[in-house]
Amino acid sequence: MAGRRRCPLAPRRARGQFAGTIDRQDPSTMSDSFDVIVIGAGPGGYVCAIRAAQLGMKVACVEKRDTLGGTCLNIGCIPSKALLQSSEAFEETKHKFADHGILVDGVKLDLARMQARKGEVVSANVKGVEFLFKKNKITWLKGAGKITAPGKVEVAGQSYDAKHIVIATGSDSAPLRGVEVDEKQIVTSTGALELEKVPGHMVVIGGGVIGLELGSVWRRLGAEVTVVEYLDRLAPGMDAETAKQFERVLTKQGFKFKLKSKVTAAAKSAEGVTLTVEPAAGGAAEEIKADVVLLAIGRRAYTDGLGLAEIGVELDERGRVKTDGHFATNVPGIYAIGDVIAGAMLAHKAEDEGVALAEMLAGQAGHVNYNVIPAVVYTWPEIASVGETEEELKARGQAYKTGKFPFMANGRARAMGDTDGFVKILADKETDKVLGVHILGPDAGTLIAEAAIAMEFGASAEDIARTCHAHPTLQEAVKEAALAVDGRALHI
């Protein structure tokens, strides 16, 4: 991850090729010819469509769901955050309000209402995207899209022409041999968002973002939660020290972990699910009984039904669409963005790619700095990171220095009663340039934005340290960590 890797200016098109030349047609008057057809209306696809329309192109977006927004808005990011927020409120009312002198008797869970609220949040968001399509005169082609030839997309039996086709079909839950999903007893994230009662015991297969977030929801609501992870740590890919502390915090909350373990079979019955769990390195198996099993071992690119093999679009060894630095596939006029291509499977990464590609198609310079894409786990406390980890720096022989500051020493965190975790800043030993920031603590997902902006502009730890931060705020922990890089933190 050394250096600043960006999407370069597309050299193949004259600047402003589309500006002032396109008569955008109202979607109420159906046409079969477009400048851009985007397949998939998730964060990458719908944002790409909107930006292309803003730049004067005539745009259609293919979506087979009854609502826009893709996995993220319908069955992913948004509904999971709604349940996370509701479950946090429930747990605070039941277990934390008394510390603030607020006594609430007889707290009860109305899961049906909680689920209904989640649906209301989802509905508002997807309707918002539909409004944006109408505002920007984007045609919604309803149905599954198939690319039948370069420049041609078939939807619901009708063929449409496009100068540019963008594949933005996202990803789907990865399967596991021996574990058959029915979305009732053995669920993916989709089923875990729709449970009608709190399970007595939930086993989560996979210690990554999705499993830990949804496991947190049901633990707060009363479930016993056991996480089975093949590796020897949680949150693979994140800073190892931060992940280890994260494990301690979740254990204190009541999570149980079986690391270096694998699930080899799952037997369903009327009483629940019996899992066969073995050590990853081999050894004697054991059985674990659960009411509900959440399969969350990752996601894979979704390309089913697109007709890519027939038209010769190349995929990589993991089934992702192969692209160059301009998101172009090996077939002229066909592009891909988001989860369906290599890189982090994050909604905001897909959005940035969608904007960059739309601007490239208009002859502008698209920009995505892949070294400064933040990642967040929305448990409580949250865990967030941007840039490189210590393990990555060591692997490439980068000399660096570290600054850490605990939330225990932050006045606002104490006032909130949320003192678990720390901020860690990694900076170049010679130049002091910030190379990575890792935060475990309250509102880490919000705090990481400051670090991302600083890194985008090539800031040093000293730049952050000398920036005045409001008091008393959680952000002061970021400043103190920057001061600690030079060994001069003030409050520890």
Task: Give the pLDDT confidence score for residue 18 in this predicted structure.
Answer: 38
- Contact, 403 vs 461, CB < 8 A? yes
DSSP 3-state of 414: helix
Residue 80 backbone zone (phi > 0: left; psi -120 to 50: alpha; other: beta): alpha
145 in a labelled binding site: yes
Extract the tokens encoding 20: 């002032």
Whether residue 212 is annotated as binding a ligand: the answer is yes
Tens of pLDDT along the chain (492 residues) come to: 334 344 443 333 333 333 333 333 444 445 699 999 999 999 999 999 999 999 999 999 999 999 999 999 999 999 999 999 999 999 999 999 999 999 999 999 999 999 999 999 999 999 999 999 999 999 999 999 999 999 999 999 999 999 999 999 999 999 999 999 999 999 999 999 999 999 999 999 999 999 999 999 999 999 999 999 999 999 999 999 999 999 999 999 999 999 999 999 999 999 999 999 999 999 999 999 999 999 999 999 999 999 999 999 999 999 999 999 999 999 999 999 999 999 999 999 999 999 999 999 999 999 899 999 999 999 999 999 999 999 999 999 999 999 999 999 999 999 999 999 999 999 999 999 999 999 999 999 999 999 999 999 999 999 999 999 999 999 999 999 999 999 999 999
Q: What is the CA radius of gyration of the chain?
A: 24
Tokens found for residue 208 = 């990554």
Q: Is 170 annotated among the ligand-binding residues?
A: yes
With CA atoms as reference, report the closest residue to 485 among 433, 410, 421: 433
What number of other Cβ atoms are within 10 A of residue 181's Cβ? 18
Tokens, residue 27: 């979607």
Where in the sequence numbering do the catalytic residues fall?
471
Asked if residue 123 belongs to a known ligand binding site, the reply is no
Check the annotation: does 382 bind a ligand: no
Contact between 94 and 107 under an 8 Å Cβ cutoff? The reply is yes
Rounded to whole angstroms, the Cα distance separating 70 from 46 reads 9
- Residue 146 tokens, joined: 């198939």
The secondary structure of the chain in percent helix, strand, coil, rounded to multiples of 5, reads 35, 25, 40
Contact 92, 104 (CB under 8 A): no
Is 208 annotated in a binding site? The answer is yes
Within 10 angstroms of residue 34's Cβ, the number of other Cβ atoms is 26
C-alpha to C-alpha distances, 231 to 39, 126, 258, nearest whole angstrom: 35, 37, 10
Q: Three-state DSSP class for 23?
A: coil
Note the pLDDT of residue 30: 55
By the 8 A CB rule, do 171 and 301 touch?
A: yes
**339 annotated to bind ligand:** yes
81 marked among binding-site residues: yes
Query: How high is the pLDDT of residue 25?
Result: 40
Q: DSSP labels for 317-361?
A: TTSPBP--TTSB-SSTTEEE-GGGSSS---HHHHHHHHHHHHHHH
Known binding residue 200? Answer is no
210 is in an annotated binding site: yes
244 known member of a binding site: no
The residue ranges of every structural domain in the chain are 33-173+301-362, 186-297, 375-485
Q: Please tell me whether 352 is known to bind a ligand.
A: no
Q: Is CATH 3.50.50.60 what the domain over 186-297 is classified as, yes or no?
A: yes
Number of H helices, E strands in the chain: 14, 22
For residue 346, say whether it is annotated as part of any ligand binding site: yes
Between helix 444-456 and helix 476-485 the angle, nearest 10°, is 50
Burial of 117 (0-12, 13-18, 19+ CB in 10 A): middle
Q: What is the Cα–Cα distance from 423 to 443, expressed in whole angstroms?
A: 12
CATH of domain 375-485: 3.30.390.30
pLDDT value of residue 196: 97
| 173 marked as binding residue | no
Same fold, 33-173+301-362 and 375-485: no
Question: Which residues lie across from 202 on neighbouring strands?
Answer: 225, 292
Question: Counting Cβ atoms within 10 Å, is residue 264 exposed (0-12), middle (13-18) or buried (19+)?
Answer: middle
Secondary structure (H, E, C), 196-218: CCCCCEEEEECCCHHHHHHHHHH
Class of CATH domain 33-173+301-362: alpha beta
